Amino acid sequence: MQALTNKAQAVNRKPMTLLERLYLINIIKGMLITFSHMFKKQPTIRYPEQKREFSPVFRGLHVLNRDEEGRERCTACGLCAVACPAEAITMEAAERVEGEEQLYREEKYAAKYEINMLRCIFCGLCEDACPKDAIYLSETFAPANYTRKGFIYGKSDLLIPNPLTEASAFAEAKGVEA
């Protein structure tokens, strides 16, 4: 039969010698390869004891930002949700009432704000779309969890600590020295 390509190779069906049947040479070869790796630099790190340094452009877990007076910046305009290609963001808006001026910067705020981290692809488009500098992607990542529900991050998980009442936690979240 005519071959379609010249890739076919004849199989060597010669019976194996006693030495070949013992596989000794191949076992020694394999062990030498394993042994040689013991003296090479380890490419793996012992996470979580050791942590890899992230690139300056790394996009990690989202943070809902506050202004310098500790007020929530988000005005629940929904632009981040519209920009999100993964439809990972949902929110509910509420009107600020009298006496809440020190809590919310704008007249409208997000009473509920959720991001589904299982859907998120960490593209950063929500951060780009936000006109209020209210959301940014930090240098941390979502830790592992046993349930899918644990990956739905609510406002309490996302909101940055108040710089007035929790200055060191705020500085830590921002990644700067207190």
Nearest distance, CB of residue 173 and ligand SF4, angstroms: 16
Sign of CA dihedral 22, 24, 25, 27: positive
Q: Which is nearer to ligand SF4, 109 or 170 (CB)?
A: 109
Q: Which is nearer to ligand SF4, 86 or 94 (CB)?
A: 86
Nearest distance, CB of residue 73 and ligand SF4, angstroms: 7
Q: Which is nearer to ligand SF4, 29 or 112 (CB)?
A: 112
Nearest distance, CB of residue 114 and ligand SF4, angstroms: 10
Residues that bind ligand SF4 in the complex, under the rule CB under 6 A: 74-80, 83-86, 88-89, 91, 110, 115, 120-126, 129-130, 132, 134-135
Q: Which is nearer to ligand SF4, 88 or 160 (CB)?
A: 88
Backbone dihedral angles phi then psi of residue 111, each to the nearest 5 degrees: -70, -35
List all residues 6 or more positions away from 60 whose beta carbon is below 8 Å from its beta carbon. Answer: 54, 122, 137, 138, 139, 140, 141, 142
Nearest distance, CB of residue 178 and ligand SF4, angstroms: 26
Using alpha carbons, select from 73, 173, 158, 166 the residue that is nearest to residue 120: 158
* Rg of the chain on CA atoms, in Å: 28
Task: Please compute, for residue 177, the number of CA atoms within 13 A of its CA located in the half-sphere on the CB side.
Answer: 0
